[in-house]
Amino acid sequence: MAAATRLIGQHQAACTKQQQQQPQQQLLLPCHHKQPPAGYLVSQQNTHVAPAAAGEVQPLRLGRTLELQACARAWMYRHVQCAAVRQHRCHSSSSSSSSSSSSSSSSSSSSRSVSSSSSRTSPLAITVSCPGLRMRALQVPLIAAPMAGITAAPLRLMYTQAGASMAVSEMVIAATLQAGNAASRHLASWHPQEGIRSVQLYGVRPQTLDWAVKHLVQEYGVHHIDLNFGCPVRKVTAKGGGSALPLRPRLFRRLVAAAAAAAGPEVPVTVKLRMGLGPELITFLQAGVVAADAGAAGLVLHARTADQQYSPPAHWEAVQQLVQAVPGLPVIGNGDVFEAADAVQLMRQTGCHGVMIGRAALGRPWLFEEAAAMLAGQWPDRPPPNLGHVLRLALQHVTAWADWEQDEL
């Protein structure tokens, strides 16, 4: 433990020095975010729905109007950003193809990035027939990632209706759930139309995690639990939690074992990891082996280090290494899946058993429908939704979200 604490301290000091030398960037935040990510400035004022006073008529009218505006801007921001990514990929693909016209077709087919425009001319070159990821009783090859402040019940329902096999809840902290915190109970609540009830859980004490898992299974009817050991937030890793916890393998083993035993044989427990804190502190292979031995039903690897946060590129080769390190255990790949073709390519390139999609689906819930079709060997040949359709979905989402928050208050 002392050695791990020393390594974490040295790493955090180096990161602080590096961060002080870099200018801050601006980021447009979705309306749900309470705090901006480290290193960013908020470029707009966030709004929140307040509880209604007794006897008020239509108490959320003004708040809902502000939410609609903020959420629509956030959806449009993501839509434009992902369009820019597609354009950049197409440009890079065309540039590379013109500069290497003499290269063989076999070498070009091994390229990681697959643009939509090039793949339409030969769809069979990238589609695969996926038998589906199975974790005990669950079959979930395509998962919507947990995102704090974002994946509340209305958006989870929208994702699963669009084609996601499962949508994981926002992170629930085991200690606050045990303490009876109302916000934690709200995060663990479910929409009546949701199918698989999947919750991401975080805890650093085996006894607390044991209680929280049993409570979620017995009182909330949870079908799947994802343990979060991939949080890159510095205030968490600086205390030895999140992505830093695998540096303490004995405690890490005890936490996974406690959760798996408390969940029982019918509720699979997966472990979400990052590659490590930084390039000098890589932990995912050892952590994967330890988690498998402790009873984990599957692993999720976000193929970046905590230092990278969400900066490109994601290191898909790490997913392949983890697949090889834990034969027989399902591994879910995560990171840089911006298009349906990326999900197929990630599974083909790494041999992983499923794909988790997070930021790329913000403002684009139809991405799950397209990815599900391609993973089934079909080709969704249709133009992308126009801006009017995007805005209608945004209004549908934020209206459902406001109603959900009001009902839970």
Strands 142-144 and 166-173 come out as parallel
The radius of gyration of the chain's CA atoms, rounded to the nearest angstrom, is 21
Two tokens at 406? 């009001």
The type of residue at 109 is S
| Cβ–Cβ < 8 Å for 330, 299 | yes
Beta-carbon count within 10 A of 404 CB: 19
Beta bridge partners of 313: none
Q: Determine the Cα–Cα distance for residues 67 and 148; give it in Å rounded to an integer.
A: 18
Asked if 71 is an active-site residue, the reply is: no
- DSSP 8-state code for residue 164: -
Q: Which long-range contacts (CB under 8 A, 24 or more apart) does 151-154 make?
A: 152/32, 152/187, 152/401, 152/404, 152/405, 153/189, 153/190, 153/191, 153/194, 153/404, 154/191, 154/397, 154/400, 154/401, 154/403, 154/404
Beta-carbon count within 10 A of 94 CB: 13
Burial annotation 124-141 (CB, 10 A radius, 16+ → b, else e): eebbeebeebbbeebebb
Which of 15, 82, 231, 352 is catalytic? The answer is 231
Catalytic residues: 231
